[in-house]
Structure 1
Amino acid sequence: MTGTAAAARLRELHHNRKPGEALVLPGAWDPAAARAFAQAGFTALATPSAGVAASLGYADGECPADEMFAAVARIVRAVGIPVSADIERGYGLPPSEIAERLRDAGAVGCNLEDSVDGELVAAGEQAEFLAAVREALGDGPDGPFLNARVDVHLRGSEKPLEEALARGRAYVAAGADGVYPIGAPLNDLAVLARELPVPVNGLARFADGGPSVAELAAAGCARVTFGGGLAEHAYKGVREMAAELHR
């Protein structure tokens, strides 16, 4: 599912949700996984950069842009539901090319993070970058959903909640449709969800004791994703199968 109708549908799915209810977007790392999630009844997907990189034989953060966008395109073609793409911080591409490549791949949303090589980008610089991407993507009810990742809880900050709020507000003012404070604890997510005027994305930890979908939704997250966790869980199963076969 591509084009303006898919973009409008993805936007619609983020809003008008009941309290304590979140849009759950499984992270499909290849077309077979995407079909499995779609057949299970999920209404949209979010590709994980780490999972896609692993499927292509790369470490997280080392997949070339051409291969990442080609993989996203294959995932989009495999399903009839909207797909949002995790594209790290855009691979150094100018905003116009980021928008063009997303359109060519058929993705109707994207994540853009605010750190590079483990270091936070200055908030003002990131806001300007997001504004340029927003302009290139187009705005309005059928524009692609721009999800702005906030990495302060990952990268270290003396006052992570305060900085996440400041960055979140700046990114929303720049045109972000959602804010993704990755790694934020539930208490901080609850504050961010209450204070920011856009859907807040919580990261669910699959099968490792972290926040569950239900806990994140109860904290006010309107959107829940899994990062590369679902792919890693699947590959763990493959490794266990391989060890069993090799006995």
Structure 2
Amino acid sequence: MLLPNAWDHASAAALHRRGFPAVGTTSLGIAAAAGLPDGSGAARGETLELGRGLARLPVPVSVDVEGGFSDDPAEVAALGAELARAGVAGVNVEDGRGDGTLTDPALHAAKVTALKEAAPYLFVNARTDTHWLGTDPTTAGALRKCTAYVRAGADGVFVPGLVAADEIAALAGELGTTPLNVLYSPAHHTWDALTASGAARVSLGSLLYRAALGRAVELACAIAGPDGPADGTQEGGAVPPYAEVEALHGDFGFGP
């Protein structure tokens, strides 16, 4: 299943109207739209508000809650229960931290368990950033984390940054019936290759948000013409990278 990720009501509703059977949210899109850093826990309020609103759509909605916005499993569970009461179908909770390290596996597992106990019908997708942060970018390293989170109650696991088809297939095989979620990477993947690899869910992450942002700036500059503010525009439909968009909350510029 392809899971497109929205950043506000309009983007989610537009994706639903085009026929996507489920919609996720992007933490970067939510945070950047509010002028906040991603992965820092700063966008808890915005994430909760959007999740409540999107739950009214007639499709399952999965909300990216970063690391749960707390290291207290009880607080993470309370957030999950509130989203579940609103009608959210699932959450994605990650073990990556803003400082580039991983949360202790036992603590992250405790968050997963607390979420499932507080909201048994909430689909908990446990994300490990072994590959995304490069802390242990091996199939064995990802499997250790995924196995621990599945034992804690996770319904699915997510390994962004895992791009090699053979590694995806190997991890999916080791996980058996537990769905493996991977992040689509235009530089590495085709849809056909991913579906053949055994990935059960493919997330688009912040790609749509970044593409929309880049295209908006590009279009404005094109309309302004040669005498307009051309410096720093994206050319040829280029999608600004994650780091460039993430930096916007502390900057006034866009582009190099």
Note if 1:136 corresponds to 2:118.
yes
Q: Residue 53 and residue 177 in structure 1: after superposition, are their counterparts in 2 closer, same or farther (change >3 A)?
A: same
Which of 32, 39, 46 is 1:67 aligned to? 46
**Does 2:3 align with 1:25?**
yes
Q: Out of 45, 50, 68, which is 1:90 matched to?
A: 68
For 2:79, the aligned partner's letter is I
Q: TM-score, normalised by structure 1?
A: 0.82
- The equivalences for 1:198-217 within 5 A come to 198-205=178-185, 208-217=186-195
Instruction: Report % sequence identity.
Output: 36
The aligned residue for residue 167 of structure 2 is 188
Whole-angstrom CA distance in 1 between matches of 2:30 and 2:189: 23
Q: Does the 8 Å contact 1:70/1:105 carry over to 2?
A: no
Structure-2-length-normalised TM-score: 0.79
Partner of 2:182, secondary structure, is: strand
Match of 1:110 in 2: 91
CA radius of gyration, larger in: 2
Greater RCO, 1 or 2 (C-alpha within 8 Å, sep 6+):
1
CA distance in 2, matches of 1:83, 1:96: 18
Q: Please tell me the residue identity of whatever aligns with 1:136.
A: A
Secondary structure (helix, strand or coil) at the match of 1:227 reads coil
1:164 aligns with 2:142: yes
Q: Pick closer, same or farther for the CA change 1:158–1:54 going to 2, 3 Å.
A: closer
SS in 1 for 2:63: strand
Matched residue type, 1:96? A
Q: Which amino acid aligns with 1:111?
A: N
Deviations 1:11-49 (A, max 9, x none): xxxxxxxxxxxx111101111111111111111111111
Aligned length: 218
Provide closer, same or farther for how the CA distance between residues 177 and 211 of structure 1 changes in structure 2, counting only shifts above 3 A: same
Residue ranges of structure 2 left out of the alignment (5+ in a row)? 229-256
- 8 Å CA contact 1:69–1:105 kept in 2: the answer is no
How far apart are residue 158 of structure 1 and its match?
4.8
Deviates more, 1:229-238 or 1:48-57: 48-57
Give the match's secondary structure for 2:154.
Answer: coil
